[in-house]
Amino acid sequence: MQQPLVSILIPFKNTEEFLKECLQSILNQTYAHWEVLAVNDHSEDSSKTIAQEFSQKDLWVQYNIADRNENFNPSIKVLQYYFDLPVVVNLLDVEIDVDGVLRPRGFVVEPDYLVDVTAVAECFKDFGAEPMLYLLKKYLPFTYSPPLMIGNIANFFLDELMSNPELGFREIFPKVFRLNPLAFSIFSDRDIREIMEKSQKHFVHLKQMVLQTFAENDIDVAHCFLEPSFYAEMYGIQGRLDVFYHNAESDQNPAIVELKSGKTYKPNKWGLNQNHYIQTMLYDLMIKAVFNNKLQPTNFILYSGVDQKQLRFAPVTKAQQFEALNVRNQLVAIEYAMAKGETRLLSRLSPKLLPSEKGFLFRDLSLFEKVYQVMTLLERKYFDTFSSFIAKEHRLAKTGVQGIEKINGLASLWLNDFEEKRENYEILSHLQINSFNSDEAKPVIVFDKSDQTNPLANFRKGDIAVLYPFTRQTDTVLNNQIFKCSITEIDETTVTIQLRSHQFNTRLFEAANNWNLEHDLFDSSFTGMYRGLFQFAQFPDYKKDLLLTLSPPKQSEEIIIAPPKELTQEQGAIFQKALTASDYFLLWGPPGTGKTS
């Protein structure tokens, strides 16, 4: 566990006067970050909680302070209601009063549970923030639409133009069909023509950005990184930027550019959609946490589809950042509540949640309510129980069971030290670049293992991983830009990985001698489970009865199908039964019996 930034050593002299004397050296100072363990809340005025440093010193932490941290009262409420104490809490901008009471400006509950920045931002609308929209979005089906496809195309244009700003539209557009051929196949010819016409405007604006506007705003394209990822445990968030400008040689004037292909709707006073603005504010916090406040980025939102002033400045406002962190805490509370079986939250997902809203929100809330309310008692119990099960699995994958054999899930990336990872075969360290085809659409890096690479590390072909430069044993994903990747080949001497994002800027790869690979996690795989469950709830009754075993599967007709010659007689018989099954076929067997093949 990381140690707090401030430690108080109290000698064995338990008098109030001596305690004040010991604290005198740190009174009236502010500390950016203090990690504590909330262990109780039993103060008479309900405005203080007992917490401990990880050195086991009891401390008072005050909340509900007007004009300081009362905006985090919803976080305190869910902490008391949904979490089982003790709970790890990060205190932000902490003052210590004359009585030794900690007075933070902000709270981050369960910071090891990293929430995606986009998920937090999407809870913000023009009317304010609604955390329950996070739960709703888990279940809603994903559908491709022309606007969504144009957004993907705009991102592709930016990536390509950053590599080669001289490209022309007719030269680059045919490549977009390779992005997702299946998605394009569902569109009509009219849709395709509309997508092509609208995307041409995005191309013109993005090309102007790369050739001129970025430079006018002190952004050097040569020092930009495309879609870099970061983890920030201090704020309990993770995210992937569209463009990050950082000249590592000078650390001067870094910048964040977030690309949006849509138009503004009820923008704030800076001409920005509120959810886009919040997203950028959280990225700002994330960059500052990873680089230990050495970088103070300038933040922009790039609206590639508007006709004027496409690149818009997003000034930092601390109040908005803390409001976003307060919502982030409530999203974690929703996850924990669902994992504990508090599925009554699902009944709140109806138009009554936002009675004055129409349009897309009304449509989505109405769809969920209609599907959820018409289920039978058994179907709803199955739906609720399975939802809780997914939330539990997700929580275990992210934070594990802390304190039990170091099973920390994704959080082991920073909770376990380097030697623990080596002993548990969880890291491929001291990798050295052999070759890197950065110009390819799917960039591949071949690493040589060194004498210090653990030959027994538990990695295999197909694993998803995070890659980051390694200089000293204290380096982790928390103080580095990380690269999401997949292992495509691995043997005794080399490891080959494919980066998830194209990288034209190879300066970081050229500067670092050693690299680490560690296991990663796809949050989207859990979202797929929720969506599959919601799809099940919309099945016809006969299919739901079949899957819930209320109705038996139909007997199949005898059809002779010649099995492949390489199968054994028993495997051939099973093959025959599987292909002739009418409703479904359940295949079960121990490892090594040929189920997969």
Per the CB < 8 A criterion, the answer to whether 253 and 295 are in contact is: no
pLDDT > 70 in the chain, percent: 92
Per-residue pLDDT tens digits for 362-381: 999 999 999 999 999 999 99
From the list 410, 379, 345, the residue with the least C-alpha distance to 134 is: 345
Per the CB < 8 A criterion, the answer to whether 78 and 330 are in contact is: yes
Q: Which two tokens stand for residue 432?
A: 């050295």
Rounded mean pLDDT of the chain? Answer: 88
> Is 6's pLDDT higher than 60?
no
Per the CB < 8 A criterion, the answer to whether 386 and 533 are in contact is: yes
**Residue 590 pLDDT class (50, 70, 90 cuts):** confident
Per the CB < 8 A criterion, the answer to whether 365 and 353 are in contact is: yes
As a whole number of angstroms, the distance between CA 285 and CA 287 comes to 6
Please, which residues bridge with residue 95 across strands?
30, 103
Strands 124-125 and 128-129: antiparallel
As a whole number of angstroms, the distance between CA 491 and CA 464 comes to 16
Per the CB < 8 A criterion, the answer to whether 222 and 248 are in contact is: no
Spacing of C-alpha 96 from chain mean position? 33
From the list 399, 337, 403, the residue with the least C-alpha distance to 113 is: 399
Per-residue pLDDT tens digits for 424-462: 899 999 999 999 987 777 899 999 999 999 999 999 999
Per the CB < 8 A criterion, the answer to whether 261 and 157 are in contact is: no
**Residue 4 pLDDT class (50, 70, 90 cuts):** very low
Please, which residues bridge with residue 448 across strands?
432, 494
pLDDT computed for residue 7 by the predictor:
35
Per-residue pLDDT tens digits for 230-285: 999 999 999 999 999 999 888 788 999 999 998 899 999 999 999 999 999 999 99
Residue type, 265: Y
pLDDT computed for residue 55 by the predictor:
64
**Residue 42 pLDDT class (50, 70, 90 cuts):** low
| Phi/psi at 12 (5° precision) | -75, 75
Helices (H), 164-186: 169-172, 181-185
As a whole number of angstroms, the distance between CA 56 and CA 58 comes to 6
From the list 177, 171, 226, the residue with the least C-alpha distance to 203 is: 171
pLDDT computed for residue 12 by the predictor:
37
> Is 1's pLDDT higher than 80?
no
pLDDT computed for residue 207 by the predictor:
96
Q: What is the pTM of this model?
A: 0.89
Q: Which two tokens stand for residue 506?
A: 């190879």
Per-residue pLDDT tens digits for 221-231: 999 999 999 99
Pick the more confident residue, 119 or 29: 119
Across 151-168, average pLDDT: 93
As a whole number of angstroms, the distance between CA 99 and CA 181 comes to 65
Matching residue, tokens 């492949």 = 564
Q: Which residues contact 588 (CB under 8 A, 6 or more apart)?
A: none
Strands 255-260 and 243-245: antiparallel
Pick the more confident residue, 35 or 375: 375
Q: Which two tokens stand for residue 98?
A: 């004359």
> Is 3's pLDDT higher than 70?
no
| Phi/psi at 253 (5° precision) | 50, 50
Please, which residues bridge with residue 40 across strands?
50
> Is 16's pLDDT higher than 80?
no
pLDDT computed for residue 44 by the predictor:
55
- Give just the sign of the alpha carbon dihedral 519, 510, 155, 318: positive
* Highest mean pLDDT of the ranges 47-56, 188-197, 435-444: 188-197
Q: Could you please report the per-residue DSSP string of 103-132?
A: E-SEEEESTTS-EEHHHHHTTEETTEE-TH
Across 16-33, average pLDDT: 55
